[in-house]
Structures are given as structure tokens and as C-alpha cells.
Amino acid sequence: MHTPFGSRQISRDGNELASTDALTGLGNHRRFCDRVERLIRDRADDPAPFAIGILDLDGFKPINDLFGYQAGDHILAQIAMRLRASMDSHSSVCRIGADEFAFLCPMVFSEEAVSERARTLIEILSAPYDVGERTARLSASAGCSLFYSQDETTEILLNKAETALYHAKRSGRGQVMVYTREMEEAARRVTHIEQALRRAVSVGEVEPHFQPIVNLATRRIIGFETLARWTDRDLGPMSPAVFIPIAEERGIIGPLSQLMLHKAAETASAWPQDLFLSFNLSPSQLVDQNTGRHILATLERTGLDPCRLEVEITETGLMSDPASVAKIIDDLRRHGIHVALDDFGTGQSSLGRLREFPFDKLKIDRAFVSSLLDDLPSQHIIRAILSMCEGLGIDVVAEGIEEEAQAQCLLDFGCLAGQGFLFGRAANADATLALLRSLMRRPPLVAVS
């Protein structure tokens, strides 16, 4: 069959277009993979090392929320220009995701060299960006991997770089990590925990435990905070500090939270009516407009009065999508559910959040309570928080109270409620109910004249 003249050129141009990112003009994921695969083939006879890296912008979504998507696109175009200009004659860069860029360095042969290259790129990206009459700043994290043998494919190299990036982002903003065997083992363990957790959630094996919240003056229990506890049949007891972040990252937090709330509300419905149940919402739940509906449906099924439920949210959760959070908070409060701001004082804009959102309660972070007795600044901060909340009509709970002197000091400052090991550790549903029954059996104190 006759091939029209120029069809090869058209095909080549079409392929070029299909492998080009329209916004930045850089190559896309397809072109990056093609280049890596070509380099692997070129080094088939002499597998000399080379390096790849993935740059992920830290906190790019708030930039879009603050300045708008058009400004966000403008910043991405500026990023592409900076990265392209920073590549040497051998290296290349592509945009492989919404806010992810990948670089290929054929003449970089060591972990130290690729780390240095990645840090240089991060520094270049940290300079201010023009957004109309304003400027914006960004940071980035990087994960890198090196090609050593023909056993490694493009997919393997990218997976290793993604694993290293995961560890870099967990270490904080602006970090660089190069893939190591230990990371692979850690990633394998995370996957093992994830699979076990999915099974445990599906069969209802994760249990709520309850930590008392007390009136500091009378030491009477006024409520309980729900804390998730999980013991796997193979892995043994798992710390919430381990499995909660995994649930958040792997998309399990929604079903886990619904399971916990159902069990906790069912338990709390048997408590005295004057006790409230405090329950934590994750950042991902605060961007899901079905959250309020799920909570109300759970309360209806379990028979718990919405006025006895208090949801705790962190400032990190607030910052994920303020408009979505505001709507969820309004929906919950309209049905009588109370809303508390958790870990107050550890964020960057807590005072502004108190002005923007109608909180019923604020929880002073344990970091201030732990240093209360020997740190004058902590004392001043707590006094200021209490004074401010009194003016705003917001209740206050101090977290992490472990010593009697801390409790007394907080009470002297005017803090009326607290929780911590001094008043009891988190206990399961049966132990919590037994505690409440024992307290109800105690004879009341009789004043002696």
C-alpha cells in the first residue's frame, strides 16, 4: 500500500505531542519513561550507573486555594523554566504529575552526587515566584534512585524513587532521600500492615478505648476521648502512631473512622446522660462532604444524642480545604454536635482559625502542659489562651496532665477541664463501663458542720 509523503513526519510530530506536557512544554511521564528505557538499552553491554529523581512540591494545593488555579499554572510554568535551565547538557527533566517533576542524570554515578543535585534543584525552586503583584514561596521534597544492573527496569527505578520520596516527605519539607534496601524493607512492612489493617477493619477487630476527661476542681469525669486500639493476630499490638498514618495515606481512614464511631457511640449510649463522647476526625474526612451525613446516620443507628458528641479536628485538617471544613462544621453544629480544635498552639495560624471557625472548645496541646512547671513562657502562653477563650466563650481542656502539680497549676490559672495519665489511661468499653458503675456506687460526700 502506498504511504503518502510526509506521513512519517506527521507520525513523529504526533508522538512528540503525545509525550509533551501541554502546560509547561516539558516531556510528560511517557517521555521520561522512554528516555530511561533508552538509556538502560544503551548501557546493556556496560551497565554504568545513572540516577533518576522525583521532585514533589510541598503544599502546592494551598497555593491554588490562595491565589487561584491560573496563578498555580503560572507558577508551574516558572518551575519548569527553572528546572530546564538547571539541567546540564546530559540531563533532562519532565513533568510526570500535577505537582511532580522527574529528572534523569546519565552522568551521575553515586548517591552523594544525586543527593547534591537534588538539593540544588530544591534550592532553585525555593526562590520566590511572581503572582501578579504578590509573591509566593514553595518548597519541594525529592526521592532518588540509581541504576546499577540490567535487572532493574524503568518501573523498578521509578518505584524506588517513589519509595525514597515517601520517606523524604515523612521526614519534613525540603528533604532529599536516596533509595536504600532498608527503605524497601520498611515499605514492605507498611504494605503488610496495610493489608492486615484492611482485614481488621472489614471484620471489626479495631476497638475504641476511652480516656477520661475530668473537671479539674471536682475530679469528676465529664466525658471520654475515643482512641483507636488494634492488636493483630500476627503482628501483635500495633501503635496508633504507626497504623493511623498508614490508614490516612492508604485510604483506609474513612471506613476505620466509621467503625470506631459506631462502636464508640454504641458504648457511650450506655453511659450516664451527662457524659459526652469526644471523637477525632482526620484531615481527609474534612474534605469529604459526606462526613456529616455519615456521623448523623451513625448517631441515629446507635441512639446517641448528637448533643453528647464532640468532634475534634486539628489545625492541619482545617488548612486542607477551609471552605469544605467550614461547611462540615456548620452542618455538625446545626444538629447539636460540638466541635473542638485539638492540639492548639502547635500550628502556624491558630488565632486566625479561632476567628474564622465557630469552635465550642479548644484543647491545649500537651507540649505546653508538660513544661508548665518549669517553663515561664509555657505558663504565659496557657494564661493567654485561657483569657482569650474566656472572652470568646470557648471551653478549654488541657491535655497530657501527668502530675498533680500540673493539674493544680492549671486550675489556679482558670482551666476547668483536663485529661491525661493522672486521671486514667485509655481503657476498653467494658473497663470504662465498670469504672463508671463503681463511681456511681460511691456514697456522696456529706459536709460535717
Q: Are residues 212 and 252 in the same domain?
A: yes
| Residue 417 structural domain | 189-441
Q: Parallel, antiparallel, or unpaired: how do β-strands 338-344 and 309-314 relate? A: parallel
Sheet holding 139-147, edge to edge: 92-95, 100-105, 50-58, 139-147, 176-178
Please indicate, yes or no, if residue 219 is contained in any of the structural domains. yes
Q: Are residues 129 and 162 in the same domain?
A: yes
Q: Are residues 170 and 213 in the same domain?
A: no
Q: Are residues 143 and 235 in the same domain?
A: no
Indicate if the alpha-carbon torsion angle 245, 251, 257, 263 is positive or negative. Answer: negative
Bridge partner residues of 16 (DSSP)? none
Q: Are residues 422 and 335 in the same domain?
A: yes
Q: Are residues 158 and 237 in the same domain?
A: no
Please indicate, yes or no, if residue 419 is contained in any of the structural domains. yes
Domain end (from 113, 145, 179):
179
Please indicate, yes or no, if residue 4 is contained in any of the structural domains. no
Q: Are residues 236 and 332 in the same domain?
A: yes
List per-residue pLDDT tens for the chain, 449 residues long. Answer: 444 444 444 445 556 778 899 999 999 999 999 999 999 999 888 878 999 999 999 878 777 777 788 888 999 999 999 999 999 999 999 999 999 999 999 999 999 999 999 999 999 999 999 887 788 888 999 999 999 888 889 999 999 999 999 899 988 889 999 998 888 888 889 999 999 999 999 999 999 999 999 999 999 999 999 999 999 999 999 999 999 999 998 999 999 999 999 999 999 999 999 999 999 999 889 888 899 999 999 999 999 999 999 999 987 787 767 888 899 999 999 999 999 999 886 654 457 677 778 899 999 999 999 999 999 999 999 999 999 999 999 999 999 999 999 999 999 999 999 999 999 999 999 999 999 999 887 665 444 43
Domain end (from 179, 208, 243):
179
For the chain, the maximum distance between any two Cα atoms, rounded to a whole number of angstroms, is 115
Q: What is the pTM of this model?
A: 0.74
Please indicate, yes or no, if residue 10 is contained in any of the structural domains. no
Q: Are residues 224 and 283 in the same domain?
A: yes
In eight-state DSSP terms, residue 74 is H
Using CB atoms within 10 Å of the CB of residue 204, give its burial: 0 to 12 exposed, 13 to 18 middle, 19+ buried. exposed
Residue 66: per-residue pLDDT: 73
How crowded is residue 143: how many other Cβ atoms within 10 Å of its Cβ?
A: 28
Please indicate, yes or no, if residue 9 is contained in any of the structural domains. no
d(CA 399, CA 419): 5
Q: Are residues 82 and 228 in the same domain?
A: no
| CATH code (residue 141) | 3.30.70.270
d(CA 422, CA 444): 22
Q: How many domains does the chain have?
A: 2
Which residues have a catalytic role annotated?
399
Q: Are residues 339 and 276 in the same domain?
A: yes
Domain end (from 156, 179, 202):
179
Q: Are residues 174 and 315 in the same domain?
A: no
Which among 342, 283, 332 is positioned nearest to 312, based on CA atoms?
342
| CATH code (residue 418) | 3.20.20.450
Cell of 383: 494564661
